[in-house]
Structure 1
Amino acid sequence: MIRTKSFLSLLLLTALLSLQLTTRAEDGYRLWQRYDQLPSKNHLKQYRQSLGEVMVQGSSPTLTVVKEELQTALGGLLGQPVTITENSRKKEILVAGTPASSALIKGLNLEADLQKVGKEGYVLVSKKAGGKKYTVIAANTDLGVLYGSFHLLRLLQTQQDISNLQVSNSPKVQHRILNHWDNLDRTVERGYAGFSLWDWHKLPQYIDQRYLDYARANASIGINGTVLTNVNANSLVLTPDYLRKVKALADTFRPYGIRVYLTARFSSPIEIGKLKTADPLNPEVIAWWKNKVDEIYRYIPDFGGFLVKANSEGQPGPQNYNRSHADGANLLAQALAPKGGIVMWRAFVYDNNVPEDRAKQAYTEFKPLDGTFKQNVMVQVKNGAIDFQPREPFHPLFGAMPKTPLMMEFQITQEYLGQGTNLAYLAPMFKETLAADTYANGKGSTVAKVIDGSLHNYSLTGMAGVSNIGNDRNWTSHPFGQANWYAFGRLAWDHSLTSEEIAEEWIKMTFSHDPGFVAQVKNMMMGSRETVVNYMTPLGLHHIMGWDHHYGPGPWIKDKPRADWTSVYYHRATEKGIGFDRTKTGSNALAQYAPDIQAQWGNPATCPEEFLLWFHHLPWDYKTKSGRTLWNELCYRYSGGVDSVRAMQKTWNTQQGKVDKERFKQVQMLLTMQEQDAKMWRDACLLYFQTFSKRPIPQELEKPANTLEYYMSLDPKFVPGI
């Protein structure tokens, strides 16, 4: 009897330990690269049979990374040790390599397939040869093998059938780059996940493991470049002391296919070169930049090039010397061209001394320069013309510069979308812009076709994302912020992917394969960005956030050093109505778009309601498509945003027990914060706009909890990321 009790106790203890192991707390550090044993017995049987031994021929740094990643990942996913070998006698085997590195790959007659995928692409195929069955990862380059390996691992992590693989994949965009707005003192402008990853003080001697894991994560989603420093640049990063540190990072990232880029402060010839001018046409300045570029390449032979913010928000630039943006970009491009480097020249420019609509200024300055930039210059354009708002119409420059490669700039960090505390899945926002039709060459001339070069035959293509990564243990502060980093990489590689399939991949790889969990959380994610738009800036309202820190509502902001840094400049609310008239009767910014778009958006009746107040100033009693007045529709949109956050809370609460306790609780607490934020946005905005509309909030809707004066008195201190 005692022995039976002891045996039962042992069984119970074993069961409890097993339960703890399967639901152990996690801090999110592993991102979507959680290589835990897969739950499906059927998939495990298939995978173990065909992938238990891995043959990788070759010893380059990148192929060494491939071997390490496959051994670690497969060992974890399959729940058993995996052998990496250069020769195998088994009948079923995974083989990875290039025709140059692997005689086996060369003998499988994949030349026709490989010709189609270029330098970074790959094929995944199931092949039978010599009485053996091979699962093949083949590419033209070692880097392609690495990308193909991550694709195969993604198939395993999402439990796909790999018994008859016929995959051919290559990137649609050449330069897929993260922009880190990181300062040399380790603060991060618009960063909400701690301090900068780059510990400049310890570099170059100390290489943090996070640098390697950062490179692994980026390579797994196809990101191939990183701009290490803030666009509000510091010239010190171009000095030898810092170039030695940059070299250490470049050496670390190189095996993963990631090239480093730096931001170049235009006045560097003065600040660190001791010249009297930075005039781009001055011979001494030209010589200085050539010598500086030569110096950089001595440290970093594969240096990617420069990202430049010039003559915007107080940054120095060529206009200081009555030169054009093309003059400034071409100065750097000429120095970089012999080395294979590129210039990414930002089009985010606006000047408070220019009296016209800020939304027009980038187009006004850059459109006349089309065709004047050197071949290794891309003009980097934000998705919208103002500044990464929760929703903007696509930037009018897309489609307007057929002779100049345009590079997309998305903001992954949620500067205007609740920062590091709000859940907002941004893939639908990215897709909304990419799918927008510019009508540049007739119907179907989407922004995506501009970016991938197919519309205008650009020789250079690129997509940049302003990073949301910091040194928080889970990288992005909000666990769901990881999905935006992941989505950016996946869309930069292939913009035809849907938001839904990207979300489903990420959920399965990050949280759980449970079908109910995946379906409910995916639905929650898919509606989250629209939720944020509704409780912040519905119907085309924009730029009405808190002053400077941009956290929370501030529609009352006025009387600042610049008119276009105020909210009243954008919403223009009066007793007669609200909205920014950008039609012929207003700023006529609409004229920067194609005639087909002007015809649709210029009429309030046909303008998409999501852009209604972006382009039109309308009376409070204007009838919206719902049949409600504009005022009542605003009330319902703001209230609906709050209700949607509460629905997200309910959805998440039902997932308890399906994910680890730590991340479940973390998301639960952040959703509580988000509900408070949403209520504050709703109450503050409706009370403020009510002072103009003079109309009541519909009786059936929840009323504000405090007075307008209360919300206007709120001034959060030490908000991160300023």
Structure 2
Amino acid sequence: MIGKKSIYSLLLLFVFLSTQTTAWAEDGYRLWQRYDLLQDKGTLKQYRQALGEVVVQGSSPTLTVVKEELQMALGGLLGQPVQVTDQARKKDVLVAGTPATSPLIKSLGLDEQLKSVGKEGFLLVSRKSGGKRYTAIAANSEVGVLYGTFHLLRMLQTKQDISQLQVSNSPKIQHRILNHWDNLDRTVERGYAGFSLWDWHKLPEYIDQRYLDYARANASIGINGTVLTNVNANSLVLTPEYLVKVKALADAFRPYGIKVYLTARFSSPIEIGKLKTADPLNDEVKAWWQKKVNEIYTYIPDFGGFLVKANSEGQPGPQNYKRTHADGANMLADALAPKGGIVMWRAFVYDNNVPEDRAKQAYTEFKPLDGTFRSNVMVQVKNGAIDFQPREPFHPLFGAMPKTPLMMEFQITQEYLGQGTNLAYLAPMFKETLAGDTYANGKGSSVAKVIDGSLHNYSQTGIAGVSNIGTDRNWTSHPFGQANWYAFGRLAWDHALSSEDIADEWIKMTFSHDPTFVSKVKQMMMGSREAVVNYMTPLGLHHIMGWNHHYGPGPWIKDKPRADWTSVYYHRATEKGIGFDRTKTGSNALAQYAPQVQAQWENPATCPEEFLLWFHHLPWDYKTKSGRELWNELCYRYSGGVDSVRAMQKTWNGLQGQVDQERFKQVQMLLSMQEKDAKLWRDACLLYFQTFSKRPIPQELEKPANTLDYYMSLDPKFVPGI
């Protein structure tokens, strides 16, 4: 008869062996959490010795997650079954816990150090005590222990030295949130990786394993919130029929430190409350929202709050009743405040009836409201003033609202950067925006310092990323799309990390530790976003994508319901020149920036060339920094973008055999698609703009393969994510 201990040992062996199996794993499902056996013998020996026994004291859902993650990860990485215990018996011990839950952590005397890491931070320290050597994961909270666990595992996966640990780490931003633009019918707006993860029909009874793996992945990079529903909201999600389903997801995510948020449709009191108005100053409306919020908290005691898109692109809002954005946000904030909830009020607003440059409208509407929002309201601002373009100058609102917490909104899904088929590593784009100097409190007043609260002493801080996740087996469609999810989480936790270091981590955890492979793939990644900018929108061109679906070139788009939904509105090409004049002689959008920024950008000679046509309408013979005339420079930039993609193809093809065949082939095919897309962009845009410039494409450059009429006739159908 087999005893209980023998059965448990067999189960541990099964878990260990299953982590060594790669046949099912190389489809990308495991993301960066690939806990395969480390191949370096010296590193393996060091880790096996230092992590000889694993001790986790205390019992809770989060500590259970810690135990399970350590058991699975260490079993795979170290190549031996790992059993987690609650007592230290061996000489070398890995211990994880808080002083409150673990007597062993308490005995190591870390209380003073723990004071500096806050609620979510952690310590990783090496200690000797009582004749034992400890590797300690210590934190003030259980979720901090979880974050510390994932940090240690990241160090192991990237083969870092853990013999003398002295790591003190805590997040720079409080609310680190994914925004899912998921609809209740499981379609995803601007989603290019399949359908929505949330299977509302099967909830609440059926909790898909994918929900738990989603939570694990987010916790591993420090994301602590998820907005489940589209900003173009549906009131139904606030009804009991759906709240019980939301509760099921909240319960599944809670052990991983992830709070659930919902989008609130402003007209819900009318649509599901049967009121005649949604006026935020109406007492019945206030009472309705208060009752609804109380109801939500009976289902989800730690509900995070609401994300709201109002009075933009046809969405209802307080302006329908001649009220301000602050009136609407404050009404919801008052309902949430007693429960500890927050309101994230989006600043992406523009009105076609306002004869003003669209780039100016958010600032115009929100700047006068600074200081009028409740303390639990954050205004969520896109990185740029137009709409997630391949490159934009930082939004002028950053630094302009010192009395109102501003929350960054990045787009991880590549709506305007080739969507799910193009390799575009976005960390450099995120970093570019975060490094932008607002001069709000003098030189060095970076956007990063605005959103982390250090510049204006914000009481609430936040950062959001519009998710690129779907039901595709590998989560993000393009294997390298995973890197953008990963990079967002890492920068949300610590915006000081470099794009290069994040790429280095991700490559090693996702593909290989081979130095040549890492170096070449990192070079591909670091140049990929610039390549996309060059073959789509060089020198500050913007919003010239295909109509509505935004896939492929469409610089000729005009005569649509809104002027600012056309390409000609933005590039303004004529026989005299090209570009949008946003200086004093044009829309004067530059006036919304600090004087120091204006002084640099208002002069074409000192304006960074990446923003040249964003702020200036210039003649075709304008001399650029290369010495070439503007038309020729555009031709070289577009052609250079294509050349960059071809270089990526060559690099990747040379790596065959250094990565599993399934993912190698997948990336190879997608790079072939990207090269085709890049040529299409180059040829279509140059032929179109040539109708204005009347100048030849330089003789030494590759010429378009077809006519302009051919490119203008292309109209892809059923593009996903519309």
Normalising by structure 1, we get a TM-score of 0.97
In structure 2, distance between residues paired with 1:690 and 1:39: 56
Match of 1:7 in 2: none
CA contact (8 A) 1:23 1:660 kept: no
2:61 matches 1:61: yes
Match of 2:84 in 1: 84
Q: Secondary structure at the match of 1:546?
A: coil
Q: Partner letter of residue 507 of structure 1?
A: I
Match of 2:491 in 1: 491
CA contact (8 A) 1:346 1:379 kept: yes
Q: Secondary structure at the match of 2:245?
A: helix
Q: 1:460 to 1:25 in 2, by over 3 A?
A: closer
In structure 2, distance between residues paired with 1:215 and 1:261: 14
Q: Secondary structure at the match of 2:351?
A: coil
Deviations 1:389-417 (A, max 9, x none): 00000000000000000000000000000
CA contact (8 A) 2:52 2:90 kept: no
Match of 2:390 in 1: 390
Deviations 1:295-334 (A, max 9, x none): 0000000000000000000000000000000000000000
Q: Partner letter of residue 411 of structure 1?
A: Q
Match of 1:479 in 2: 479
Report the CA distance between 1:117 and its aligned residue.
Answer: 0.2
Match of 1:15 in 2: none
In structure 2, distance between residues paired with 1:583 and 1:532: 27
Normalising by structure 2, we get a TM-score of 0.97
Q: Secondary structure at the match of 1:26?
A: helix
Report the CA distance between 1:25 and its aligned residue.
Answer: 6.8
2:612 matches 1:626: no
Match of 1:8 in 2: none
Deviations 1:686-717 (A, max 9, x none): 00000000000000000000000000000000
In structure 1, distance between residues paired with 2:621 and 2:317: 46
Match of 1:542 in 2: 542
Deviations 1:105-131 (A, max 9, x none): 111110111000000000000000011
Q: Partner letter of residue 283 of structure 2?
A: P
1:439-588 alignment runs, 5 A limit = 439-588=439-588
Match of 1:310 in 2: 310
1:28-39 alignment runs, 5 A limit = 28-39=28-39
In structure 2, distance between residues paired with 1:53 and 1:238: 47
In structure 2, distance between residues paired with 1:100 and 1:614: 55
Match of 2:97 in 1: 97
Q: Secondary structure at the match of 1:261?
A: strand
Q: Partner letter of residue 236 of structure 1?
A: L
2:399 matches 1:421: no
In structure 2, distance between residues paired with 1:645 and 1:38: 33
Match of 1:663 in 2: 663
| Cα RMSD, aligned residues only | 0.8
Q: Partner letter of residue 518 of structure 1?
A: V
Match of 1:647 in 2: 647
Report the CA distance between 1:52 and its aligned residue.
Answer: 3.0
Match of 1:328 in 2: 328
In structure 2, distance between residues paired with 1:616 and 1:59: 62
Report the CA distance between 1:88 and its aligned residue.
Answer: 2.0
Corresponding pairs, count: 703
Deviations 1:119-155 (A, max 9, x none): 0000000000011000000000000000000000000
Deviations 1:610-640 (A, max 9, x none): 0000000000000000000000000000000
In structure 1, distance between residues paired with 2:512 and 2:332: 48
In structure 1, distance between residues paired with 2:21 and 2:460: 49
1:31-430 alignment runs, 5 A limit = 31-430=31-430
Q: Partner letter of residue 699 of structure 1?
A: Q
Q: Partner letter of residue 324 of structure 1?
A: T
In structure 2, distance between residues paired with 1:88 and 1:286: 56
Report the CA distance between 1:534 and its aligned residue.
Answer: 0.1
Identity of aligned residues (%): 88
In structure 2, distance between residues paired with 1:345 and 1:693: 43
Report the CA distance between 1:21 and its aligned residue.
Answer: 6.6
Q: 1:47 to 1:530 in 2, by over 3 A?
A: same
Match of 1:676 in 2: 676
- The unaligned stretches of length 5 or more in structure 2 are 1-19
In structure 1, distance between residues paired with 2:162 and 2:50: 9
1:569-608 alignment runs, 5 A limit = 569-608=569-608
Report the CA distance between 1:23 and its aligned residue.
Answer: 8.4
- The unaligned stretches of length 5 or more in structure 1 are 1-19
In structure 2, distance between residues paired with 1:547 and 1:40: 52
Q: 1:24 to 1:285 in 2, by over 3 A?
A: closer
In structure 2, distance between residues paired with 1:89 and 1:379: 52
In structure 2, distance between residues paired with 1:98 and 1:497: 27
Q: 1:656 to 1:25 in 2, by over 3 A?
A: farther
In structure 1, distance between residues paired with 2:23 and 2:390: 36
Deviation beyond 6 Å, 4+ runs, structure 1: 20-25
